[in-house]
Structure 1
Amino acid sequence: MAQLKVDAEPAEVGFDPQRLARIDEHFARYVDDGRLAGWTVAVARRDRVVHLTHHGLADVEAARPVGDDTLWRIYSMTKPITSVAALMLLERGLLALTDPVSLYLPAFADLRVYRGGAAANPGTEPATEPVRIWHLLTHTAGLTYGFHHAHPVDEMYRSRGFEFGVPAGMDLAAACNAWAAIPLVHQPGAEWNYSVATDVLGRVVEVVSGRPLDAFLDEEVLRPLDMTDTGFGAADPDRLAALYVPKPGGGLHRHDRMGDAALRDPTFLSGGGGLVSSAADYHAFTRMLARGGELDGVRLLSPRTVAYATRNHLPGGADLQEFGRPIFAESAFQGVGFGLGFSVVVDAAAGKSLTSAGEYAWGGLASTAFYVDPTEEITAMFLTQLMPSSTHPIRPQLRTLVTSALVD
């Protein structure tokens, strides 16, 4: 099991301890005034953990505090893990970024693209080029999410049972076939639209590797990194944090209807949002990335591959503001591009974010987040269980608090 503990004094790695303490003071107020139940925050620099704090309750009703062993639904923080799995297959020569997805998933041949009209009777046109592997990694495939409520195609997803999840009993292969039968929001490669693309990528990993996604991730990514607390569902109920949503007027409402899915073995293996993890486990994953694909003698990726994946891949160096649709995603849009599975800061000034160009990151539906700042050699992570993640500006606040504590 991965272990997480402080192993450096702040001054040893260039932090002012009093400024670093502002992180806890600030986010403690979220718990004290009822906006969050509890949280874990971890900050490391130069591969040494300098700040680790738990605060509040993992389960308010059971009065169970957040601790080292708390398990969290990481939702879309699953996406970078699935993306790493695909990049590992790329390095082995088993797939290429330019491969049509239909080479592995035949349902993705002869796709149609929405042109106009109501969701019940849309006008469509043929896709002008195939959806390719790089489109899945960059969310430029033209797929979508039902929960966006921003486009008639989103409504088509919802009408078929795809909003937060898939219809009961449906597996990943069947979901991908169903998505391929729905028109794309836009032509492949023409725009950025946050979507089920990483779930489709997970199915590609299954077909290429000949293994179910949970088996491939466990054998090739999670166990090699000693991430033994991370997996798809069947989480220990005595360790799993409860899932909450805000109450109108203040306070929290427990959302067991959605949260209890993490207690069961899923039929649908969601490479886009299905994993449960711990702070120690996800820190091991971010360490691997920050160290150029290697952790404690185990190498998953080449440093060149990590560097390539964490640069902006949007055409012409565009940011999400220019190239993305105005929808919710787990990132700011201004000054932020997108790589192969990660958001990438291209212009920190444009994004009004106190961070460095080249910072890469992602987050999850329940307000979890991580980022890696290669310039400052920082990794930081915030774990809680409040959905939706757009409720509070936790991510930019975390960046500001961490970066402003640097004094070297």
Structure 2
Amino acid sequence: MAAIKAERKLCLHPARPRRHILKGACRKLLCSDARWCRDEKIPLCKAAKMYRVHGGDGHVVTSQRHSKVRQLPTPLRASVLKVGALQVPKKQDTSNVVQVARGLISLTSRSCPTVAGLNAQVMKETDELLHQKVSSGEAPGVISVVLRHGVLAHMDSYGYADLERQVPMRPDTIVRLYSMTKCIVSVALGICLEEGLVQLDDPVYKFVPEFAEVQVKSEDGNVMPANKPVTVLQLLTHTSGIGYGPMLGDEPECEAEERFLALIQRASLGRTSPNDVRAVRSLEHWCQELAKIPLQHQPGAQWLYSYSHDVVGRIIEVATGRNLDAFLAERITQPLGMVDTGFEIPRSKWHRTAAMYRFHEDGEFKQRLVRIDAPSVEANEWIVGNASPILSGGGSVDSMTGGMVSTAADYARFCLMLLRKGELDGTRILTSETVDLLCSNQLPTASGREDTWAFGTPGVGFGPVGSVSVKHPALEEALRPGEYGWGGMAGTAWTNDPDEDMVLLSFSLVAFDLSTEEVLRAGVRKAIAAFKQ
């Protein structure tokens, strides 16, 4: 998908830095190590970081703690993955494929790469590469899922979801979606479009009045009124000019990040000290405060990754009269059978909850994984009673938490719904026309220019659910026109390729790392090519 590849291009494992710069108001560097910059004069920002990863199977591996880890086969609960009607290639063994009608495929079922048109040996080699990442200590565990032509073509889980508790990684492991929450919120906005509650050209101030008089602060420090209202479409395509602050408790690396710091701290108080008078305790209050912070560029002037989808979440609340979590559950996650997807985790599901890790420098150029979420059910930031009261539709509004949680089993169903043009297992979420709108490049409409690209990369467009690869002479070879998808800060990623009738989904638990997604993506493309030969 254009989205994932664009971010993969910009945000890589520290061991293999590349020099790519986002042409934003602050020239944000999208790289896991912000020291790598081809122009030292450009101020560095991590504000627009995104990530993805994938992987695994079940054998003895060596973790970064130098202990022997045996990943045992673990039966899932009632968690199943349902796919649409299946077109099975002729003259192939279909004995292991559950197909047609309701299209039930259990995630404990045997995958069928050959029936799906993938070379089995190449996929085995891909698994070995992913397992090596766990063995070498680059990731605690990985999950990869490939669905093609309605077949579970590949499903692999390997390593640990929680090193400290030695919880094995499984397809029903609950992970943090962060920015992959945006995709679900965009679908919710699509429902509002269909019901006439919202229009793409509506000004944001129609729903959040505080956006009626937004200011713009340029790189040279000049402050001026916005030359036109921010629209709903500009929020959905990250052309609003809002921008992002520092993530995961990092210090701001430029003034454009620093301007969000006070709001991030106040949002954190809403979770940790809700009785503090400075605390921000609701999405409504957060959006009111966000509108006071100057935009980084005029609305529609360029693409800049931002808090825009958090504002979209508030628009949905105002338009529907429902809290964001309730509306998403009623109209999307419950109808799709996404039983583990929501804004917080019940204590009863703690045994399936993944930890979250991040690389920290330990001496000269030496990296080690460090856990960054609380290791106990009493203190963990996503457990019911501890979670943020601000329902972040964009992924994160405080110094640590935000967005939804989900599983590979759940999110695969969401991806399949989009691939099947808004319907899955007899349940229709959106019309096919709305899906086409959400999954196509909307940057020319949002900006009024044909040369506006996500990350400043020609061929990488952007639609409401994520980045979209567009046919262009400069489009990178690894990207395919028409594919779309997105990823999240905790090493999660998905891609839909309509031409290949394929979903790629991967989860890892390492912040700011895309290298695992690179391995899976390259392996699947190679497996398709090898099968055709």
Partner of 1:206: 317
Partner of 1:357: 481
The residue type equivalent to 2:382 in the other structure is: A
Give SS of 2:329's match.
Answer: helix
- Does the CA-based 8 Å contact 2:113-2:152 persist in structure 1? no
Partner Cα distance (1:251, 1:32) in 2:
13
Matched, 1:156 2:259: yes
Matched, 1:196 2:273: no
Partner Cα distance (2:440, 2:213) in 1:
31
Give how far 1:127 is off: 0.8
The residue type equivalent to 1:191 in the other structure is: Q
The residue type equivalent to 2:430 in the other structure is: L
Once the two structures are superposed, residues 43-82 of structure 1 have per-residue CA deviations (whole angstroms, 9 ceiling, x without a partner) of 0001221111110001111111112321101111110000
Give how far 1:394 is off: 2.7
Moved more, 222-231 or 298-307: 298-307
Matched, 1:82 2:185: yes
Q: How does 1:258-277 map to 2 (within 5 A)?
A: 260-263=380-383, 264-273=386-395, 274-277=403-406
Give how far 1:152 is off: 2.3
Partner of 1:246: 359
Q: How does 1:9-408 map to 2 (within 5 A)?
A: 9-117=112-220, 122-147=221-246, 149=252, 151-161=254-264, 168=271, 169=274, 170=280, 171-235=282-346, 236-248=349-361, 249-257=366-374, 260-263=380-383, 264-273=386-395, 274-315=403-444, 316-318=449-451, 320=453, 324=455, 333-347=457-471, 350-388=474-512, 391-406=513-528, 407-408=531-532
When residues 123 and 167 of structure 1 are mapped into structure 2, their CA distance, relative to the original with a 3 A threshold, is farther
Partner Cα distance (2:527, 2:219) in 1:
50
- Does the CA-based 8 Å contact 1:146-1:164 persist in structure 2? no
Give how far 1:308 is off: 1.8
Give SS of 1:147's match.
Answer: coil
List gaps (5 residues or longer) in structure 2.
1-77, 82-106, 275-279, 396-402
Pick the structure with greater CA Rg.
2
- Does the CA-based 8 Å contact 2:130-2:519 persist in structure 1? no
Give SS of 1:113's match.
Answer: strand
- Does the CA-based 8 Å contact 2:118-2:527 persist in structure 1? yes
- Does the CA-based 8 Å contact 2:338-2:413 persist in structure 1? yes
Moved more, 285-294 or 2-11: 2-11
- Does the CA-based 8 Å contact 1:335-1:347 persist in structure 2? yes
When residues 317 and 151 of structure 1 are mapped into structure 2, their CA distance, relative to the original with a 3 A threshold, is farther
| TM-score using structure 2 length | 0.70
| TM-score using structure 1 length | 0.91
When residues 60 and 304 of structure 1 are mapped into structure 2, their CA distance, relative to the original with a 3 A threshold, is same
When residues 195 and 163 of structure 1 are mapped into structure 2, their CA distance, relative to the original with a 3 A threshold, is farther
- Does the CA-based 8 Å contact 1:43-1:50 persist in structure 2? yes
- Does the CA-based 8 Å contact 1:157-1:163 persist in structure 2? no
Partner of 1:329: none
Partner Cα distance (1:296, 1:7) in 2:
21
How many residues in Structure 1 have an aligned counterpart in Structure 2?
393
Partner Cα distance (1:63, 1:246) in 2:
19
- Does the CA-based 8 Å contact 2:79-2:172 persist in structure 1? no
Give how far 1:246 is off: 1.3
Partner of 2:80: 3
The residue type equivalent to 1:206 in the other structure is: E
Q: Please tell me the root mean square deviation across aligned C-alpha atoms, in Å.
A: 2.2
Once the two structures are superposed, residues 9-48 of structure 1 have per-residue CA deviations (whole angstroms, 9 ceiling, x without a partner) of 2222211111122221111111000000001110000122
Moved more, 163-172 or 146-155: 163-172
When residues 163 and 340 of structure 1 are mapped into structure 2, their CA distance, relative to the original with a 3 A threshold, is farther
Give how far 1:163 is off: 10
Give SS of 2:182's match.
Answer: helix
Give how far 1:404 is off: 1.1
Partner of 2:40: none
- Does the CA-based 8 Å contact 1:147-1:164 persist in structure 2? no
Once the two structures are superposed, residues 117-173 of structure 1 have per-residue CA deviations (whole angstroms, 9 ceiling, x without a partner) of 5xxxx5311111111100110011111111275652321101333699685442111
Give how far 1:254 is off: 1.0
Partner of 1:330: none
Give SS of 2:213's match.
Answer: coil
